[in-house]
Amino acid sequence: MQRRTFVAGAAASLAVPTLRAQGSNLPAGPVRIIVGFAPGGGTDILARVIGQKLGDLWKTQVIVENKAGASGTIAADYVSKQPGDGNTLLMAHINSQAITPALQKLGYNSETDFQPIVLVGVTPNLLICNEQQPAKTVKDLVELCRKKPGSVSFGSAGTGSAQHLALEMFMLAAKVKAIHVPYKGSGPMLTDLIGGQINYSFDTMTAATPHVKSGKAIAIAQTRLKRAGAYPNVPTMAESGFPGFEATTWYGLVGPAKMPTAMAKRMNEDINKVMLMPDVVEKLQASGAEDGGGSTEKFAEFTQVEIKKWAKIIKDGGVKADA
């Protein structure tokens, strides 16, 4: 378990009585944002960007706490059972909220056990590899997988993760077989990819970008139907011979279902303000996180659509949790 604390100091000690006196619908005392993946992954990066600004705005401590494992569901299960006082939030992820619930029985219900706050962003996944790989285009990768069935390795943030499902979609569409290597998050997976222990990954643009920019990882394709503004020169999978191929990753903040709606709406207002700050906009754009913001209702509706979409893909593709 790893923690990072933002904005402490004297102001934090004054926050509790001030917030209560103002009746501001904000939580009293420090706030934890729980992240279901290891440090260095996309979820962790965005939680820290948002958390730092909220600490400034709320004049209290905002602590990012990593509870990695099981494709983010350990963290989601933990937050679902916390009090509704607003002191514990989840940086929700497509894995824990929309994909894994369709793969296996969990200790929480993603539709009823959380109070939606705001959609932070939707990102493409980037098909990336290390410098040593011979295939650096989608066409060449398909040919390599056909020549060496079951020997080309793809890392992911865990079984049932967005990266895993993107790989499953690719194998179905290309009619190839590859090796899936699950990790406890993008951070450790990227370390092994760069080090040559695994070959490829459909990783989140947020997590992969620093390594692509440094030249340690190579971006082959991206997985939204449109090219992200941060990657205008990287073709989409649809442009690379797979029409309609779209496998995104998304992030949002939620609280336990017991959280008052008024508190969620107040947090929503503040996070929307944070997401309009120029330096935050720059960081979100650089990570490929687009189409975030809006109301709590918008996020709730978005989540419902995603739950249905991925349940159908998992059923139609025959994807199993232990694949």
What residue spans define the domains of the chain? 2-123+249-317, 124-240
Tell me which residue of 131, 118, 126, 78 sits closest to 251, measured CA to CA: 118
Q: Where are the alpha helices (DSSP H) in the chain?
A: 10-22, 42-58, 73-80, 94, 138-147, 162-174, 186-195, 205-213, 261-274, 278-286, 296-317
Residue ranges of the chain with per-residue pLDDT less than 50: 4-22, 323
pLDDT computed for residue 306 by the predictor: 92
Supply 308's token pair: 């249905």
pLDDT computed for residue 98 by the predictor: 95
pLDDT computed for residue 96 by the predictor: 95
pLDDT computed for residue 7 by the predictor: 44
Q: 10 Å Cβ neighbour count for 278?
A: 7
pLDDT computed for residue 23 by the predictor: 54
CATH topology of domain 2-123+249-317: D-Maltodextrin-Binding Protein; domain 2 (3.40.190)
pLDDT computed for residue 11 by the predictor: 38
Q: 10 Å Cβ neighbour count for 255?
A: 28
CA angle, corner 282, sides to 277 and 285, nearest 5?
120
Q: List all residues 6 or more positions away from 267 whose beta carbon is below 8 Å from its beta carbon.
A: 26, 86, 117, 118, 253, 255
pLDDT computed for residue 322 by the predictor: 64
Tell me which residue of 161, 207, 202, 257 sits closest to 43, measured CA to CA: 207
pTM metric for this prediction? 0.81
Q: How far apart are CA 253 and CA 302, in angstroms?
A: 13
Supply 28's token pair: 């009293």
DSSP state of 127: E
Class of 124-240 per CATH?
alpha beta
pLDDT computed for residue 312 by the predictor: 85
